Structure 1
Amino acid sequence: MDKITRVGVDLAKRAYQVHAVDRAERPVLARPMSPQRFEQWAATLPTGCVVAMESCSGAHHLARRLRLMGLDARLIAAHFITSFRVQGASGKNDANDAAAICEAASRTRTRCVTVKTPEQQGWQGIHRLREGYKEERTACINRIRGLLAEFGLVFPQSPDALRRVLSDVLEDASNELPGVMRLGLQRSQAHWRVLDDEIAWCDQQVKLHVRQDRAATRAAQLHGVGELTASALVAAVGDMSQFKSARQFGAWLGLVPSQNSSGGKHRLGRITKRGDDYLRTLLIQGAKSALLAAPKRSDRISQWLQQLRERVGWQKALVALANKNARILWAVLTREIDFDPEHVPPIPQCKLPMLKAPLPV
């Protein structure tokens, strides 16, 4: 066991595939283990041994347990591991994946995912529950609307419009709805109300999170960043200092243009859309409200946003504001300062005009 210096683990529900190497990069162990057997085996590893895993379901929990044992647990995104599988796409299996994870962990340029705390995962769970309830509510509304259309009852697409007339339609005896269908739609209507209550409860918890967390309170001060976005940001990122710069944080969110450059010619395309889809969507949706309210404000960012909209159009201005808000969030949270819409950044020393030395007399 003292010879093992790095371990790659491919996680699954009932079996973990383990691949361990020594200092000379020679395989020492390659076999599957049950989760309980793996934890017992990991306890015998030397202190500081690197144990790498894919960032997947249960990986953060296992990484926290391994760190309590004194091991260097690392999480790697799945798309960084694929290129290290020497067998290619046709040779994918648990053993090859574990070997690829072990190989990826040996590269200093491989970026690892920060291990989340239980509190972060808890708040992320609230956001995922809310998104699930929202999708389920949309499906319920569409189901009710489709069933009513079968009997010639068509209403405007707004959920509020359907909510106002649904009770009267179910009680109206002049339409063709049979009795069993009325009972079924009444149950769907009750399910709709339950989903509304669940979403409202999640919103209350998000508001409580923003009030209790100082970082979330600072994030919610930005134009286009509401309580939902601020709570999701703190839950997903945690320590913002893990990013070296605001530009790196914007790139992690996928808000920077993709590149296809070669030979000194720079070709920029659409945004990369990498990183957290939910967080990126919230930033862009919040930018819409900020862009609509920009003509009513007189601060520097709102003036810049109006000029940008006139120059490049609505959609590009939205993405630009989302990227700008991401960079401001990095600066606000890493420096632990409040947001100032009138802030003027200092001019870098490299861009200051050079003073000419006086001529000798």
Structure 2
Amino acid sequence: MTEISPSLVCRVGVDLAKRVYQVHCVDGFDKVVSCRSMSPDRFFEWCRTLQPGCVVAMESCSGAHHVCRRLGPLGLRMMILPAQHVGAYRSAGKRSKNDATDAAAICEAASRPHLHAVPVKTAAQQGVLAIHRLREGYKEERTALINRLRGLLAEFGLTFAQSPQALRSALPDVLEDASNELPGDLRLALQRGLAHWDQLDAEMAWCEQRIAQHARSDSRAKKAAELMGVGPITASAVVATVDDFTQFKSAKQFGGWAGLAPSQNSSGGKTKLSGITKRGDVYLRTLLIQGAKSAVMTAHQRSDPISQWLVQLKERVGWQKAVVAMANKNARILWCLMTREDRFDPHHLPQRAAPAQAATVATPAVA
């Protein structure tokens, strides 16, 4: 193995932007070799001069996975660090944030062995997640449109039930009713809003169709969809977000990464637990919790051990805690399924280790 000279660049921190990349380079003695900005094209050409094995670190942001995929064939060691962990290594603090201090903080954070890097996603993974993001955007836009239409109609004394179906069924009649005081221009605007609503529904349906197709074609997604409370959307999002589940040491660690573990405020040997941490991917955690709600609501209709546990847990700690507990259980089961060759069995009972039998001690005879 070739020894790396300390005088060469051994670690590079890169602060990515749209048109300017700020780099911060150190050698084997952690001495600053270079600190400058360059264009993206110039940066990729400059990276060709780095020695194989050099660490190139950046924050997890838009374009980071693309940069890693492009520089990976050069033999460089790519690292994507969580943005929330980099700020602690900015020497100047929050009040002196700029590209140079950010690049220096990234370079410093990359030298810490306890910080886990974000695995580089493939283009196929990002493509599937892009469909999920588009669907979420259409859904938010549709909700905003419905609320906007309700607000405009309420200005003229027209109110309807809360469900979108009630508004949708009543809106055509309202537009045709000449007895209300809606102006002509507003009627035209409401018609266009209704047409936009139909278009958003069509876009969401297309996204859901593509997601369902991915869930049917991916073997791991098919395994994930067998869980109670995990549908095709959640199964597709899980395998697209986490490609390699072996990066987590245990199912407990994966549940904690998803933000489903209780937060702590412990001190002096006294443990104090509170609500879940809500760390990790917000979208994935939301899907797990929403799916867990359906599993809790229908638990009384099933006789498997998990459903019986859910019924008892709901009666003991309440609806909300039972939902979070089920989401955490699903996350742990997902880790087990993805790291092993097993299939989900709702009637599976864990094999507990038999208690060790106490050794028989002979009583000495009394003289």
Report the TM-score, using the length of structure 2 for normalisation: 0.95
Map of 1:57 onto structure 2:
62
CA displacement, residues 175-215 of structure 1 (integer Å, 9 cap, x when unaligned): 11121111111111100000000001111011100100011
For 1:11 and 1:355, how far apart are their aligned partners in 2?
61
Are residues 1:174 and 2:192 paired? no
1:131 offset after TM fit, Å?
0.4
Q: 1:156 aligns with which of 158, 161, 164?
A: 161
1:92 offset after TM fit, Å?
1.2
1:357 offset after TM fit, Å?
2.7
The one-letter code sitting in structure 2 at the alignment partner of 1:334 is T
The one-letter code sitting in structure 2 at the alignment partner of 1:329 is L
Q: 2:220 aligns with which of 215, 220, 224?
A: 215
Q: 1:308 aligns with which of 313, 316, 330?
A: 313
Are residues 1:30 and 2:35 paired? yes
Map of 2:356 onto structure 1:
354
Map of 1:280 onto structure 2:
285
For 2:58 and 2:8, how far apart are their aligned partners in 1?
20
Q: 2:337 aligns with which of 328, 332, 344?
A: 332
CA displacement, residues 14-50 of structure 1 (integer Å, 9 cap, x when unaligned): 1011000000000001000110000000011001110
Map of 1:266 onto structure 2:
271
Structure 1's unaligned 5+ residue stretches are none
CA displacement, residues 58-115 of structure 1 (integer Å, 9 cap, x when unaligned): 0000011111111101000011111111111122111111111011111111111010
Report the TM-score, using the length of structure 1 for normalisation: 0.97
Are residues 1:78 and 2:80 paired? no
Map of 2:25 onto structure 1:
20
Map of 2:301 onto structure 1:
296
Give aligned pairs, total. 358
The one-letter code sitting in structure 1 at the alignment partner of 2:344 is F
Determine helix, strand or coil for the equivalent of 1:111. Answer: coil
The one-letter code sitting in structure 2 at the alignment partner of 1:357 is A
Determine helix, strand or coil for the equivalent of 2:149. Answer: helix
Q: Percent identity?
A: 64
The one-letter code sitting in structure 2 at the alignment partner of 1:104 is A
User: After alignment, is 206-215 or 167-176 more displaced?
Assistant: 167-176
Determine helix, strand or coil for the equivalent of 1:113. Answer: coil
Structure 2's unaligned 5+ residue stretches are none
Determine helix, strand or coil for the equivalent of 2:33. Answer: strand
Are residues 1:231 and 2:233 paired? no
Cα RMSD (Å) of the superposition? 1.2
Are residues 1:250 and 2:250 paired? no
For 1:135 and 1:43, how far apart are their aligned partners in 2?
43
The one-letter code sitting in structure 1 at the alignment partner of 2:211 is V
1:359 offset after TM fit, Å?
4.4
For 2:108 and 2:351, how far apart are their aligned partners in 1?
44
For 2:251 and 2:108, how far apart are their aligned partners in 1?
30
For 1:299 and 1:70, how far apart are their aligned partners in 2?
51
